[in-house]
C-alpha cells in the first residue's frame, strides 16, 4: 500500500484507486479505535504516536533533500514551548497558539538552514545538532518563563473535557491532513527537485534547480509540521519538560524513520508505530524494557536493510522467485 | 579583593588548560575515527563508559593495580572495536541512518545493562595518583596534572602515528580516496579495523582515568558526547591538527563561562559562540573548504 | 533487489530472542523477589482483603538504579505495615499492595505513569514520585481527587502549594536537610558570618534558591555573591570551585543535589588549596560524598543527610527496616537509601487507620488535621505553612555528621523543622 512514489502518468489514476480504497479502509479502522479501546491510557499512547508520526514524517521530508535535521526534537520542543508560553502566560487561545508555534518553528528553521544551504549537507547536520542542544539549553536557562529543567505545567488544553477522545479524533484528522500535504509535496515537482539535489547538487544546479531555495524550502516545510506537532503535544499533555526534546529524542526519531524505511513515505509511519507502541506493551518488564527496543533495532537493521516497509515486497519477490524456479524446473 | 581576583584568574588559566586537555583526551578517539573512516561513532560515549567500568571492576573486585587495570580495560575494549567495526560499521558504511540505529542499539544495551546490574551505589575507581602539587599560590591536584600530561602526550602520539608510521600513512590514504587506496593494494578492512581498535582503546583510556577523577555512572557517556562533537566540528573535518585548538577553545570557554554566568546559561552561550564561529568558518578552524 | 544475508539475519534473530528471554528472565527474577517478601505476610487464615496503592517511581533513566532500590524499601515498608496489623477500615482487615509504574525519569513519562495509575490501574492513592517530577502529578491528583504523598519536593510551581490540597510531602525534601544543617551551623560555628550558596541549576534556583536565601539571611548570615548554580552534567566542576573560593565566604553550603557534583566540588575546592567550611545538605549519605571527594579532601565538612547505617539510636522501626533491607539485598553492609517511598507508606498506614476510610477526601482532611505522625526515623511533625503555603509537609529528625580526613563522625540528631 505505501509504495514508492510513482512518476505521474496517464495510468496513475486507475492505479491509484486501489490504494485509495485501502487508505480509506485504514482511516475508518483508525477512527473506530476509541470505540474498541476504551482505556484512556491506550488512547494516550495512540495520541502520542500520532504526534510522533507527524514529527517523523516531517523529518523524513527534510531527509529527502539529503540533509539530516539533527535538531528535529528541539524544534518539536520549540513548538511545544512557544505554544505553552503563549497560551499559559499570555492567555492566547490554544488553537491560535498552535498555529503560531508552527510558524515560529518554520521561521527559526529557515533562519538556521539558510546560511548553510550552500554547503555540504553534513554541515547543516552538525550545525543543527548544536543548534538543537543550544536551543534546549537556552530554554532551560530561562528559568522563570520556562521552568528550567522542571518544565511547564498547567498548560491550557485544547478541549475542556477530561476525556481524551476528542483529542484523538482531532489529532487523527491533523495527522492525516499533514501526511497528505507532505505526500503531495513529495509527489509533485518540489519533491522531485529535492531528490535531485540529494543525488547530485552539481547536476541539479546545472539544470537550474536552485539548491539553496529547495533546501531551505524542505527545512521550512519540515519545521512547520514538527512545530505543529510540538504545539499539539503541549496543549494536550498539560506538562512539558526539556528532557523529551533532547538529542537522544532526535536520534530516536531518526531511528523511527530508518527502521520504518527511509526510502518510503510510509516508512516513518510504520517505524514510529512499531518502535513507540511495542516497548509500551512490554512495559511490565520495568527496567528491562529498553532491551526490547534494542532487540527490535538490531533485528530490523540486520535483517531488513530497507526497513520494515520492505517486508511485503521481500515476501512478494521471494514468492515470485520460487514460482519462477518451479517453472524453470518443470520446463 | 584583588588577591581573590588574581587567584581566580590563575585558577581559571589552570582550569582552562586541564579542561582542554581533558576534552582532547575524550574527543581523540572519536575525531580519529571520523577523520579516517568517516564514521560518526555515536556509541563513543557508551564505550568510554564501559572502559571506565571494566577498569573499576578490575581495580576493586579483582584487586589489581589501577594502572594495570586501565591497560587491560584498554586492551579489552580495543578488541571489542574489531567486533564493532565488523558488525556495526562495515555493513552500513556510508549510510548514516543505519549507523545511528546500530549505535543507539549498542548504547541502549550497554547503558541499561550497566544500570540494571550495577545499581545506584556511588562508585569511584581508586585514584591513579594522589596528592596536591603546590607552587606558590597555585595548587593543583596531581590527578589533574596527570590527566593533562596524558591528554597532551596521547595527542602527540596520535599525530605521530598518523603522520610518520606506515599504518598511519595507509589510513590517510584510505581517508583521502577509498578506491585509490584499494587499487594501491591497501587492505582497507585491516586499516578500518585498526582505526576502530585505536578509537575504542582511546575511549576506554579516557574512561578509566575519568572513572577515578569524577565517578562512575551508567550515563556518563552521554554527558561527554556533546563536548566531543563540539571539538570535532570546531577542529575541522579531516584534520586531527584542529583537535588541539578546538580543545583549547572549548576548554577555555568551559573554564571561564561558569564564573560569569550560571550553569545552564553557560552551555547555551557556548552553543551560541560555536554556531557563530561556524557561521564564518563552517568547515571548522582547520577543515578543508567544501561546497555542495 | 536486496539480498537478505541469511547468516546475519539468523544471528540477529537469535540475539534478539536471547535479549527477550533475558528480559523475561530478569522480569521473573524481580517478580520472585517481591513474591518472596509478600508470602511471609499472608500466613493468617482469616480472609484479609488487599487494597492497592499506586507507587510512581522512576525505574529507568538517570534515577533508574536509585529508584529501583527505594522501591525495594517501599515494598519492605508495605510488608511491615501489613505485619503490624495492616489496615482496618470499616471493621474489615486489609493488607496493602503496591502497583508500581515507571516515570522514566522524565516529566512526560511521569505524567503518563500518573495517568496510567489513575485511569488504568484505578488507584485512589499515589506515593511518589522523586525529584522535581511532582509538578506533573500534583495537579492531576487535585483534579481527580487522588491522595498524593510525595517523596520529594523542589518547590517548583505546581509541586506543593496552597492549591494542591491533596498533596502531602511524606519525606524530608531538600529543604529539611537545609534547615537541619543551618540550625547546626548557627549553634556550633559562631565564626561563620558569610556563606556562599551552591545548588544545581535545574530551574529550582528562583524557587528553592530564593527560599533558602531568605532562611539564611533571616538567621543573620550574609550571602556572598549570588547563588552559584552548577550544571549537573558538567565534566569538571573546578570552575565552580574557583568561583566559590573567589567569593571569599567563610563557608559554602551545597543546598541540594547528589553525590557526584557535591563531592566533586568539595574535592576541587580542597585541591585548590581552600579549607573553607563545606556544608552539604541533601539526601545522599556522607560516605558517598567521601567516596567521590577522596579521603584527604573530605575534611572540615558538615553533612546533614538521610539517616544512614551507623547513626546511633535509630528508631526500632528504622532498625527493622535496615535489617530487612540488608536481608533482601543479600549484603549485610548495604547502605540504606533515603526511604523516600517507604516513609510515605509508613505514614499512609497511620492515616488510613485513623481516618477509617479509603475516601481520598476524608484521608486528606484527616492527614491535614494531624499535627504529629510516626515516621521510620521517629516522631515527625506536620508543618510547612510558611515554606510551601500549605501545612502538609512532614518533618523529622535528621543526623548531622562531621567529616574529618575522610572519617564521618555522627554528631547529633537535629530536629530539622520546616516552618
B2-45 residue pLDDT tens: 777 888 888 899 999 999 999 999 999 998 888 888 888 999 99
Between CA A265 and CA A89 the distance in angstroms is 38
Identify the domain boundary among A201, A227, A245.
A245
Asked if residue C22 is part of any domain, the answer here is no
In the predicted model, what is the mean pLDDT of chain B? 87
pLDDT tens profile A204-213:
778 877 888 8
Are A116 and A48 found together in one domain? yes
> Buried b vs exposed e over C196-215: b needs ≥16 C-beta within 10 Å?
bbbbbbbbbbbbbbebbbeb
Report ipTM (2 d.p.).
Answer: 0.89
Are C92 and C163 found together in one domain? yes
Asked if residue A34 is part of any domain, the answer here is no
Indicate the number of domains in chain C: 2
Task: With H, G, I as helix, E, B as strand and everything else as coil, classify residue C223.
Answer: strand
CB contact under 8 A, C157 and A147: yes
Asked if residue C7 is part of any domain, the answer here is no
Between CA C400 and CA B13 the distance in angstroms is 37
User: Residue B112 belongs to what domain range?
Assistant: 17-220
CA distance A239 to chain C (A): 6
**∠ CA(C106), CA(C112), CA(C117), 5° rounding?**
125
Spell out, as residue ranges, where chain A has pLDDT lower than 50. 1-3
Are A100 and A130 found together in one domain? yes
pLDDT tens profile B171-200:
888 888 888 888 888 888 888 899 999 999
Predicted local confidence at residue A229, as pLDDT: 95
Are C281 and C409 found together in one domain? yes
CA distance B130 to chain C (A): 9
A45's CB contacts (< 8 A; 6+ apart) are: A276, A277, A280
Chain A neighbors (3+ CB pairs < 8 Å) = B, C
Predicted local confidence at residue A307, as pLDDT: 83
Predicted local confidence at residue C285, as pLDDT: 85
CA trace torsion A315, A317, A318, A324 (10° rounding): 150
Predicted local confidence at residue B80, as pLDDT: 92
Asked if residue B10 is part of any domain, the answer here is no
Of A141, A146, A288, the CB nearest to C26: A288
Asked if residue C301 is part of any domain, the answer here is yes
Q: With pLDDT > 70 as the criterion, what percentage of chain B qualifies? A: 97
CB contact under 8 A, B119 and C292: no
A159's CB contacts (< 8 A; 6+ apart) are: A166, A167, A170
Predicted local confidence at residue A12, as pLDDT: 57
Asked if residue C320 is part of any domain, the answer here is no
Are A178 and A309 found together in one domain? no
CATH number at residue C212: 3.40.50.2300
CB contact under 8 A, C229 and B140: no
Query: Quick one: three-class SS letters along chain B?
Result: CHHHHHHHHHHHHHHHHHHHHHHHHHHHHHHHHHHHHCCCCCCHHHHHHHHHHHHHHHHHHHCCCHHHHHHHHHHHHHHHHHHHHHHHHHHHCCCHHHHHHHHHHHHHHHHHHHHHHHCCCCECCCCCCCCEEEECCEEEEHHHHHHHHHHHHHHHHHHHHHHHCHHHHHHHHHHHCHHHHHHCCCCHHHHHHHHHHHHHHHHHHHHHHHHHHCCECCCHHHHHHHHHHHHHHHHCCCCCHHHHHHHHHHHHHHHHHHHHCCHHHHHHHHHHHHHHHHHHCCCCCCCCCCEC
Predicted local confidence at residue A88, as pLDDT: 87
List the one residue out of B166, B261, B208 whose CA is nearest residue B76: B208
Of C60, C69, C267, the CB nearest to B119: C69
Predicted local confidence at residue A329, as pLDDT: 65
- DSSP tag of C3: P
Are A233 and A252 found together in one domain? no
CB contact under 8 A, C204 and A150: yes
pLDDT tens profile C238-268:
999 999 999 989 999 999 888 889 999 999 9
pLDDT tens profile B129-172:
888 888 887 888 899 999 999 999 999 999 899 888 888 888 88
User: Residue C234 belongs to what domain range?
Assistant: 175-310+401-415
Between CA B92 and CA B99 the distance in angstroms is 6
Asked if residue B231 is part of any domain, the answer here is no
Predicted local confidence at residue B140, as pLDDT: 87
Are A122 and A227 found together in one domain? yes
Asked if residue A33 is part of any domain, the answer here is no
Indicate the number of domains in chain B: 1
Are C237 and C252 found together in one domain? yes
CB contact under 8 A, A303 and C119: no
Asked if residue B225 is part of any domain, the answer here is no
Predicted local confidence at residue A7, as pLDDT: 56
**Inter-chain Cβ pairs, chain A and chain B, closer than 8 A:** 115
Are C408 and C290 found together in one domain? yes
Asked if residue A29 is part of any domain, the answer here is no
List the one residue out of A81, A272, A237, A79 whose CA is nearest residue A164: A237
Predicted local confidence at residue C190, as pLDDT: 92
Asked if residue C34 is part of any domain, the answer here is no
B contacts of A134 (beta carbons < 8 Å) = 267-268, 270-272, 274-275
User: Residue A215 belongs to what domain range?
Assistant: 39-245
Are A267 and A240 found together in one domain? no
Are A277 and A170 found together in one domain? no
C52 burial via Cβ count (<10 Å: 0-12, 13-18, 19+): middle
Which residue in chain B is spatially nearest to A211 when comparing CA positions?
Answer: B292
Indicate the number of domains in chain A: 2
Asked if residue C12 is part of any domain, the answer here is no
Residues linked to residue C199 through DSSP beta bridges, in sequence order? C229
Asked if residue C391 is part of any domain, the answer here is no
CB contact under 8 A, B12 and C239: yes
CB contact under 8 A, B264 and C201: yes
Each residue's pLDDT expressed in tens, for chain C with a length of 419 residues: 344 444 444 444 554 454 444 434 333 333 333 333 344 444 445 578 899 999 999 887 778 778 888 899 999 999 999 998 888 888 889 999 999 998 888 887 888 889 889 988 899 999 989 888 888 788 889 888 999 999 888 888 788 888 889 999 988 877 889 999 999 999 999 999 999 999 988 778 888 899 999 999 999 999 998 899 998 888 889 999 999 999 989 999 999 888 889 999 999 999 988 899 999 998 888 888 999 998 888 999 999 988 777 788 778 888 888 888 888 888 777 777 778 899 999 999 999 999 999 999 999 999 999 989 998 888 999 998 888 888 899 998 899 999 999 999 999 998 888 88
Asked if residue C195 is part of any domain, the answer here is yes
Amino acid at each position: 500500500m505505501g509504495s514508492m512514489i510513482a512518476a505521474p502518468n496517464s495510468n496513475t489514476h486507475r492505479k491509484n484507486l486501489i490504494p485509495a480504497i485501502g487508505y480509506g479502509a485504514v482511516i475508518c479502522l483508525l477512527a473506530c479505535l476509541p470505540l474498541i479501546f476504551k482505556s484512556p491510557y491506550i488512547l494516550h499512547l495512540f495520541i502520542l504516536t500520532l504526534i510522533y508520526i507527524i514529527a517523523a514524517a516531517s523529518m523524513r521530508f527534510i531527509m529527502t533533500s539529503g540533509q539530516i535535521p539533527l535538531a528535529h526534537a528541539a524544534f518539536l520542543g520549540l513548538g511545544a514551548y512557544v505554544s505553552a508560553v503563549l497560551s499559559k502566560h499570555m492567555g492566547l487561545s490554544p488553537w491560535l497558539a498552535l498555529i503560531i508555534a508552527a510558524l515560529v518553528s518554520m521561521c527559526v528553521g529557515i533562519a538556521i538552514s539558510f546560511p548553510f544551504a550552500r554547503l555540504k549537507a553534513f554541515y547543516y547536520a552538525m550545525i543543527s545538532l548544536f543548534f538543537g542542544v543550544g536551543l534546549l539549553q537556552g530554554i532551560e536557562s530561562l528559568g522563570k518563563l520556562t521552568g528550567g529543567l522542571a518544565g511547564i505545567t498547567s498548560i491550557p488544553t485544547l478541549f475542556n473535557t477530561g476525556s481524551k477522545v476528542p483529542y484523538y479524533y482531532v489529532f487523527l484528522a491533523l495527522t492525516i491532513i499533514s501526511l497528505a500535504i507532505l505526500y503531495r509535496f513529495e509527489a509533485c515537482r518540489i519533491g522531485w527537485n529535492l531528490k535531485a539535489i540529494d543525488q547530485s547538487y552539481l547536476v541539479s544546479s546545472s539544470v537550474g534547480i536552485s539548491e539553496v531555495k529547495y533546501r531551505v524550502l524542505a527545512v521550512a516545510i519540515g519545521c512547520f509540521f514538527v512545530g505543529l506537532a510540538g504545539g499539539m503535544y503541549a496543549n494536550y499533555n498539560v506538562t512539558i519538560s526539556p528532557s523529551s526534546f533532547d538529542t537522544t529524542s532526535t536520534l530516536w526519531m531518526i531511528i523511527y524513520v530508518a527502521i520504518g524505511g527511509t526510502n518510503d513515505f510510509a516508512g516513518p509511519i510504520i517505524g514510529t508505530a512499531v518502535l513507540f507502541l511495542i516497548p509500551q506493551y512490554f512495559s511490565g518488564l520495568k527496567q528491562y524494557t529498553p532491551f526490547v527496543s534494542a532487540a527490535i533495532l538490531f533485528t530490523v537493521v540486520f535483517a531488513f536493510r530497507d526497513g520494515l516497509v520492505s517486508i511485503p515486497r521481500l515476501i512478494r519477490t521471494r514468492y515470485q522467485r520460487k514460482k519462477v524456479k518451479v517453472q524453470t524446473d518443470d520446463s | 579583593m584583588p588577591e581573590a581576583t588574581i587567584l581566580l584568574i590563575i585558577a581559571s588559566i589552570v582550569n582552562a588548560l586541564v579542561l582542554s586537555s581533558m576534552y582532547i583526551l575524550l574527543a581523540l578517539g572519536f575525531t580519529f575515527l571520523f577523520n579516517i573512516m568517516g564514521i560518526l561513532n555515536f556509541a563513543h560515549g557508551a564505550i568510554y563508559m564501559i572502559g571506565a567500568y571494566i577498569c573499576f571492576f578490575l581495580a576493586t573486585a579483582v584487586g589489581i593495580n589501577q594502572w594495570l587495570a586501565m591497560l587491560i580495560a584498554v586492551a579489552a575494549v580495543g578488541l571489542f572495536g574489531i567486533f564493532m567495526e565488523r558488525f556495526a560499521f562495515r555493513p552500513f558504511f556510508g549510510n548514516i541512518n543505519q549507523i545511528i540505529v546500530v549505535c543507539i542499539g549498542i548504547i541502549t544495551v550497554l547503558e541499561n545493562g550497566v544500570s540494571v546490574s550495577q545499581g545506584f551505589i556511588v562508585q569511584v575507581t581508586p585514584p591513579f595518583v594522589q596528592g596536591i602539587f603546590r607552587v606558590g599560590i597555585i595548587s593543583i591536584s596531581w590527578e589533574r596534572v596527570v590527566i593533562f600530561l596524558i591528554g597532551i602526550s596521547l595527542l602527540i602520539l596520535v599525530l605521530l602515528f598518523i603522520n610518520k608510521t606506515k599504518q598511519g600513512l595507509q589510513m590517510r590514504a584510505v581517508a583521502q580516496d577509498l578506491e585509490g587506496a584499494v587499487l594501491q593494494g591497501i587492505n582497507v578492512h585491516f586499516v578500518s579495523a585498526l582505526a576502530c581498535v585505536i578509537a575504542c582503546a582511546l575511549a576506554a583510556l579516557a574512561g578509566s582515568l575519568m572513572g577515578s577523577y569524577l565517578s562512575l555512572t551508567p550515563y556518563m557517556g552521554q554527558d561527554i558526547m556533546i563536548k566531543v562533537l563540539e571539538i570535532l566540528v570546531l577542529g575541522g573535518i579531516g584534520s586531527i591538527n584542529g583537535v588541539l585548538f578546538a580543545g583549547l577553545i572549548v576548554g577555555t570557554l568551559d573554564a571561564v563561562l561558569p564564573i560569569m554566568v550560571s550553569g545552564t546559561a553557560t552551555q547555551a552561550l557556548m552553543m551560541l559562540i560555536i554556531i557563530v564561529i561556524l557561521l564564518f568558518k563552517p568547515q571548522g578552524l582547520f577543515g578543508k573548504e567544501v561546497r555542495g | 533487489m536486496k539480498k537478505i544475508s541469511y547468516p546475519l539475519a539468523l544471528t540477529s534473530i537469535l540475539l534478539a530472542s536471547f535479549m527477550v528471554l533475558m528480559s523475561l528472565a530478569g522480569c521473573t527474577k524481580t517478580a520472585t523477589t517481591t513474591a518472596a517478601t509478600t508470602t511471609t505476610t499472608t500466613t493468617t487464615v482469616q480472609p484479609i482483603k488487599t487494597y492497592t496503592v499506586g507507587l510512581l517511581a522512576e525505574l529507568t533513566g538517570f534515577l533508574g538504579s536509585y529508584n529501583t532500590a527505594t522501591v525495594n524499601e517501599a515494598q519492605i515498608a508495605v510488608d511491615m505495615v501489613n505485619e503490624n496489623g495492616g489496615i482496618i477500615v470499616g471493621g474489615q482487615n486489609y493488607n496493602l499492595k503496591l502497583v508500581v509504574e515507571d516515570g522514566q525519569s522524565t516529566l512526560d513519562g511521569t505524567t503518563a505513569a500518573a495517568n496510567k495509575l489513575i485511569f488504568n490501574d484505578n488507584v485512589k492513592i499515589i506515593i511518589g514520585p522523586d525529584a522535581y517530577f511532582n509538578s506533573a502529578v500534583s495537579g492531576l491528583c487535585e483534579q481527580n481527587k487522588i491522595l498524593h504523598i510525595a517523596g520529594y519536593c523542589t518547590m517548583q510551581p505546581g509541586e506543593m502549594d496552597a492549591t494542591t490540597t491533596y498533596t502531602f510531602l511524606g519525606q524530608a525534601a531538600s529543604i529539611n536537610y537545609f534547615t537541619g544543617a543551618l540550625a547546626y551551623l548557627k549553634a556550633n560555628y559562631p565564626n561563620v558570618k558569610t556563606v556562599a550558596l551552591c545548588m544545581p541549576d535545574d530551574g529550582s534556583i528562583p524557587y528553592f534558591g530564593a527560599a533558602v536565601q531568605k532562611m539564611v539571611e533571616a538567621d543573620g548570615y550574609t550571602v556572598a555573591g549570588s547563588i552559584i548554580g552548577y550544571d549537573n552534567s558538567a565534566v569538571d566542576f573546578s570552575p565552580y570551585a574557583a568561583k566559590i573560593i573567589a567569593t571569599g565566604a567563610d563557608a559554602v553550603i551545597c543546598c541540594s543535589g547528589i553525590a557526584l557534583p557535591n563531592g566533586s566540588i568539595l574535592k576541587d575546592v580542597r585541591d585548590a588549596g581552600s579549607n573553607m567550611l563545606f556544608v552539604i545538605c541533601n539526601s545522599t549519605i556522607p560516605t558517598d560524598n567521601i567516596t567521590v571527594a577522596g579521603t584527604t579532601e573530605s575534611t572540615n565538612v558538615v553533612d546533614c543527610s538521610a539517616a544512614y547505617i551507623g547513626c546511633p539510636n535509630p528508631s526500632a522501626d528504622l532498625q527493622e527496616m535496615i535489617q530487612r533491607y540488608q536481608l533482601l539485598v543479600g549484603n549485610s553492609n548495604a547502605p540504606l537509601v533515603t526511604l523516600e517511598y517507604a516513609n510515605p507508606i509508613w505514614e499512609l498506614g497511620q492515616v488510613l487507620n485513623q481516618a477509617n476510610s479509603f475516601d481520598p477526601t476524608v484521608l486528606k482532611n484527616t492527614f491535614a488535621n494531624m499535627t504529629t505522625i510516626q515516621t521510620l526515623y521517629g516522631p515527625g511533625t506536620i508543618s510547612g505553612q510558611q515554606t510551601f503555603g500549605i501545612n502538609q509537609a512532614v518533618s523529622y529528625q535528621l543526623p548531622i555528621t562531621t567529616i574529618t580526613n575522610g572519617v564521618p563522625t555522627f554528631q547529633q540528631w537535629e530536629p530539622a523543622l520546616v516552618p
